[in-house]
Amino acid sequence: MTPPHAPTTARALATAEVCRRIVAESRRQLAEVGPAALSLRAVSRELGMAPSAIYRHFADRDALLSALIAQTFTDLGEAVEVAVAAAGPARIDTWRAWTRAVREWAVARPFDYALVYGSPVPGYAAPRDTVAPAVRVLQPILDMASGLTPSGSTVDTPPLGDSLDSMADYIDAPAEVAARAIEAWATIMGFLSLYLFGHLVGAVDSSDTLWERVVEQTAADLGLTEPDEPLPGGRS
């Protein structure tokens, strides 16, 4: 009944559990001191283990950091998937749900947000393992953009070269749509970063109403506000 490689023995279960605890405690401490100051010794101390025990589960400090980053992306990815699944079927429903989910997640866990979308940790190179979880976060809006046709542009914009071709292929939409999707994403992430990193402190009393505006404006730039937009699954 169980899959062939699932951990079934007591030892394997215990190992998985300890591994989970290390990651959990590390994420907790990371929120207090930041990724650069994350200490294996402090983590092991808090868990009541010898510092060297960590090395049974992670090759070194960088490996633990990679696991934390992957885990954090996965966490956010699951949050947006739940939110998008609970939203309506129209593209704009997806966009509103996705942006709302990202914001709520980020505001609740500013240090997790900083870990994955803030300054890279110097001297640390993100390995391949973190790419898939990072893309998973974006997948709902990539799916949403699929098949979208550019519309409503009243602006003369410079021509795009072929630099977006691979993304356009991936989402099965014109490069124009890929460009607008990246712009909308950049606006959302930029606003969150400015807010969470303290750059709006003197300028904006409460970011709530402004945030609603940003979401609607980006939706309009994406061409999601036309009433009769066709959906990928038909329903004209």
Partner DNA sequence: TGTACATCAGTGAACGCGCGTTCACTGATGTAC
Q: Give least dist CB 114 to DNA, A.
A: 18
Residue from 30, 40, 69, 80 in contact with DNA (CB under 7 A): 40
Residue with tokens 């004209």: 236
Residue from 1, 5, 203, 236 in contact with a second copy (CB under 8 A): 203
208 in contact with a second copy (CB under 8 A): yes
CA 22, CA 53: separation in Å to the nearest integer? 10
DSSP-assigned states of every residue in 121-173 = PTT----GGGHHHHHHHHHHHHHHHTT-------S--PPP-STTHHHHHHHTS
Question: CA 7, 12, 14 angle in degrees (round to 5)?
Answer: 125
In the complex with DNA, the residue whose CB is nearer, 31 or 219, is: 31
Residue from 46, 151, 167, 172 in contact with a second copy (CB under 8 A): 167
What tokens appear for 120 in the block?
A: 């890279």
**Dihedral angle computed from the Cα positions of residues 26, 30, 33 and 35, in that order, rounded to the nearest 10 degrees:** 100
Question: Under rule CB under 8 A, how many of the chain's residues touch a second copy?
Answer: 68
CA 128, CA 116: separation in Å to the nearest integer? 14
Q: How many CB atoms lie within 10 A of CB 149?
A: 11
In the complex with a second copy, the residue whose CB is nearer, 90 or 167, is: 167
Q: What is the DSSP letter of 159?
A: P
Q: If contact means CB under 5 to 8 A according to the sort of partner, which of DNA, a second copy, none does residue 10 touch?
A: DNA
In the complex with DNA, the residue whose CB is nearer, 27 or 91, is: 27
Give the footprint of a second copy on residues 129-148 (CB under 8 A).
131, 134-135
Give the footprint of DNA on residues 9-38 (CB under 7 A).
9-12, 14-15, 18, 38
Q: How many CB atoms lie within 10 A of CB 113?
A: 22
Give the footprint of DNA on residues 152-181 (CB under 7 A).
none
Helix then strand count (H, E) for the chain reads 9, 0
Q: How far apart are the first and last CA of the chain?
A: 44
What's the Rg (C-alpha) of the chain? 21
49 in contact with DNA (CB under 7 A): yes
166 in contact with a second copy (CB under 8 A): yes
- Specify whether the CB–CB gap between 140 and 94 falls below 8 A: yes
In the complex with a second copy, the residue whose CB is nearer, 54 or 188, is: 188
Which part of the chain contacts DNA (CB under 7 A), choosing from 59-67, 74-82, 90-98, 196-204? 59-67
Residues that bind a second copy (CB under 8 A): 32-34, 36-37, 111, 114-115, 117-123, 126, 131, 134-135, 152, 154-167, 178-179, 182-183, 185-191, 193-194, 197-200, 202-210, 212-214, 216-217, 220-221, 225
